[in-house]
Amino acid sequence: MTDHHPTPSVCPLCAVGCRLVPGEEGRARGAAGPANPNGRLCRKGVDAYQLGGDDRLTEPQVRRDSDLTVVAWETAYERIVEGIQDVIETHGPNALAFLGAPHCSNEESYLLQKLARTLGTNNVDNRARLCHSSSARALSEQVGWPATTGSLDALNDADVLVVAGANPAERQPIAFNSFVRPAVTHGTTLVHVAPVGNRTTRLADHHVAPRPGTDALVFDLLSAALIEDGNVDHEFIRERTRGYDAFAASLAGMDRDRVMARAGVDPETIRQLVGRLTGADRVAALVGTGIEGDVDDPNAAEALIDLLLLTGNVGHRGTGLYVLRGLVNEQGATDAGCVPDRLPGHQPVTDGTARTRVAEVWGIEPPAAPGMNASELLAAFGEEIRGAVIVGENPAISKRDSAWIRRRLAALDLLVVLDISPSETTRHADVVLPVAAGVETEGTFTNLERRIQLSRPTREPPETVRADFDVLREVGCRLFTDRDWFDYTDVGEVFDELTRVAPTHEGITYDDIGPEGRQWPGETDSTLYTESFDTPDGRAAFGRAQYDTETGDSTVDPETEGQLRLVTGGRASEWPADRTASDHPLRMHPADASDRRVASTDEVVVSNGSVAIETTVEITDRIRQGTVSLPAGVADPLLRCEASTVRIRPPSEYQETDP
Ligand SMILES: Nc1nc2c(c(=O)[nH]1)N[C@H]1C(S)=C(S)[C@@H](COP(=O)(O)OP(=O)(O)OC[C@H]3O[C@@H](n4cnc5c(=O)[nH]c(N)nc54)[C@H](O)[C@@H]3O)O[C@H]1N2
Ligand SMILES: Nc1nc2c(c(=O)[nH]1)N[C@H]1C(S)=C(S)[C@@H](COP(=O)(O)OP(=O)(O)OC[C@H]3O[C@@H](n4cnc5c(=O)[nH]c(N)nc54)[C@H](O)[C@@H]3O)O[C@H]1N2
Ligand code: SF4
Ligand SMILES: [Mo]
Ligand nearest to the CA of 418: 2
Which atom of ligand 1 sits closest to the CA of residue 327? 12
- Position 241: which residue type? T
List the CATH number of the domain containing 253: 3.40.228.10
- Estimate to the nearest angstrom the gap between the alpha carbon of 602 and the chain centroid: 35
180 and 306 fall within a common domain: yes
**Final residue belonging to a domain, choices 308, 324, 340:** 324
- Does 19 have pLDDT greater than 80? yes
- Estimate to the nearest angstrom the gap between the alpha carbon of 184 and the chain centroid: 25
Which atom of ligand 3 sits closest to the CA of residue 172? 1
- Percent pLDDT > 90 in the chain is 78
How far apart (Å, rounded) are the C-alpha atoms in residues 619 and 165?
Answer: 21
- Percent pLDDT > 70 in the chain is 94
Give the per-residue pLDDT at 577.
57
For residue 419 and ligand 2, the question of a CB distance below 6 A is answered with: yes
- Does 580 have pLDDT greater than 70? no
Give the per-residue pLDDT at 396.
76
Atom 8, ligand 3: residue with shortest CA distance? 45
For residue 131 and ligand 2, the question of a CB distance below 6 A is answered with: yes
302 and 346 fall within a common domain: no
- Does 622 have pLDDT greater than 60? yes
What does the pLDDT average to over 202-225? Answer: 96
pLDDT confidence tier of residue 634, bands split at 50, 70 and 90: confident
503 and 458 fall within a common domain: yes
Best of 47, 132, 167, 286 for a ligand 1 pocket test (most atoms within 8 Å of beta carbon): 167
222 within domain boundaries: yes
Atom 18, ligand 2: residue with shortest CA distance? 393
285 within domain boundaries: yes
Which atom of ligand 2 sits closest to the CA of residue 426? 44
480 and 377 fall within a common domain: yes
Q: What confidence tens digit (pLDDT) does each residue in 27-52 have?
A: 999 999 999 999 999 999 999 998 87
Give the per-residue pLDDT at 463.
95
- Does 4 have pLDDT greater than 80? no
CA 166 / ligand 1 centre spacing (Å) = 5
- Does 569 have pLDDT greater than 90? no
- Strands 283-287 and 160-164, how do they pair? parallel
How far apart (Å, rounded) are the C-alpha atoms in residues 130 and 393?
Answer: 13
Asked if 153 and 318 touch (Cβ cutoff 8 Å), the reply is: no
What does the pLDDT average to over 512-529? Answer: 89
- Does 553 have pLDDT greater than 80? no
What does the pLDDT average to over 528-536? Answer: 96
CA 326 / ligand 4 centre spacing (Å) = 5
79 and 176 fall within a common domain: no
Task: Write the DSSP symbol of residue 193.
Answer: E
Give the per-residue pLDDT at 164.
98
With a CB cutoff of 8 Å and minimum separation 6, the contacts of 142 are 302, 305, 306, 309, 535, 540, 541, 542, 543
Which atom of ligand 3 sits closest to the CA of residue 46? 5
Ligand nearest to the CA of 333: 2
Which atom of ligand 1 sits closest to the CA of residue 297? 35
171 and 79 fall within a common domain: no
For residue 173 and ligand 3, the question of a CB distance below 6 A is answered with: yes
Atom 46, ligand 1: residue with shortest CA distance? 326
CA 348 / ligand 1 centre spacing (Å) = 29
With a CB cutoff of 8 Å and minimum separation 6, the contacts of 656 are 610, 612
103 and 227 fall within a common domain: no
Secondary-structure percent of the chain, ordered helix, strand, coil, rounded to 5: 35, 20, 45
- Does 378 have pLDDT greater than 80? yes
How far apart (Å, rounded) are the C-alpha atoms in residues 68 and 243?
Answer: 58
For residue 572 and ligand 1, the question of a CB distance below 6 A is answered with: yes
- Does 410 have pLDDT greater than 60? yes
Give the per-residue pLDDT at 554.
40
530 within domain boundaries: no
273 and 412 fall within a common domain: no
Give the per-residue pLDDT at 572.
56
- Does 623 have pLDDT greater than 60? yes
Asked if 566 and 638 touch (Cβ cutoff 8 Å), the reply is: yes
CA 405 / ligand 2 centre spacing (Å) = 15
417 and 314 fall within a common domain: no
Best of 289, 331, 574, 630 for a ligand 1 pocket test (most atoms within 8 Å of beta carbon): 289
Best of 402, 420, 424 for a ligand 2 pocket test (most atoms within 8 Å of beta carbon): 420
Give the per-residue pLDDT at 638.
85
What does the pLDDT average to over 470-476? Answer: 98
550 within domain boundaries: no
- Asked if omega into 515 is within 30° of 0 (cis), the reply is no
659 within domain boundaries: no
Which atom of ligand 3 sits closest to the CA of residue 36? 4
**Final residue belonging to a domain, choices 279, 296, 324:** 324
- Asked if omega into 284 is within 30° of 0 (cis), the reply is no
379 and 501 fall within a common domain: yes
Asked if 541 and 535 touch (Cβ cutoff 8 Å), the reply is: yes
What does the pLDDT average to over 461-481? Answer: 97
- Does 292 have pLDDT greater than 50? yes
Which sign, positive or negative, has the C-alpha torsion 433, 11, 41, 26? positive
List the CATH number of the domain containing 364: 3.40.50.740
381 and 397 fall within a common domain: yes
Asked if 465 and 73 touch (Cβ cutoff 8 Å), the reply is: no
Considering only the C-alpha atoms of the chain, give the largest distance between any 2 of them, rounded to a whole number of Å.
74
- The lowest-confidence range among 382-396, 399-413, 432-446, 571-585 is 571-585
Q: What confidence tens digit (pLDDT) does each residue in 474-495 have?
A: 999 999 999 999 999 999 999 9
342 and 453 fall within a common domain: yes
200 within domain boundaries: yes
**Final residue belonging to a domain, choices 459, 487, 519:** 519
Residue 86's nearest CA partner among 497, 600, 430 is: 430
With a CB cutoff of 8 Å and minimum separation 6, the contacts of 254 are 220, 224, 545, 547, 549
pTM listed for this prediction: 0.95
pLDDT confidence tier of residue 556, bands split at 50, 70 and 90: very low
For residue 30 and ligand 3, the question of a CB distance below 6 A is answered with: no
How far apart (Å, rounded) are the C-alpha atoms in residues 532 and 292?
Answer: 27
Give the per-residue pLDDT at 3.
41
What does the pLDDT average to over 582-593? Answer: 84
548 within domain boundaries: no
Instruction: Using alpha carbons only, give the angle 572, 99, 288 rounded to the nearest 5 degrees.
Output: 40
Instruction: Using alpha carbons only, give the angle 385, 131, 141 rounded to the nearest 5 degrees.
Output: 95
CA 21 / ligand 1 centre spacing (Å) = 27
List the CATH number of the domain containing 592: 2.40.40.20
For residue 196 and ligand 1, the question of a CB distance below 6 A is answered with: yes
For residue 18 and ligand 3, the question of a CB distance below 6 A is answered with: yes
Best of 14, 135, 571, 575 for a ligand 2 pocket test (most atoms within 8 Å of beta carbon): 571
How does the average pLDDT of the chain come out, rounded? 92
Domain range for 13: 9-50
pLDDT confidence tier of residue 6, bands split at 50, 70 and 90: low
Instruction: Using alpha carbons only, give the angle 244, 248, 254 rounded to the nearest 5 degrees.
Output: 150
Residue 77's nearest CA partner among 466, 488, 378 is: 466
Number of domains in the chain: 4
404 within domain boundaries: yes
Q: What confidence tens digit (pLDDT) does each residue in 347-374 have?
A: 999 999 999 999 999 999 999 999 999 9
Q: In 214-275, where do the E strands start and end?
A: 241-242
How far apart (Å, rounded) are the C-alpha atoms in residues 635 and 137?
Answer: 28
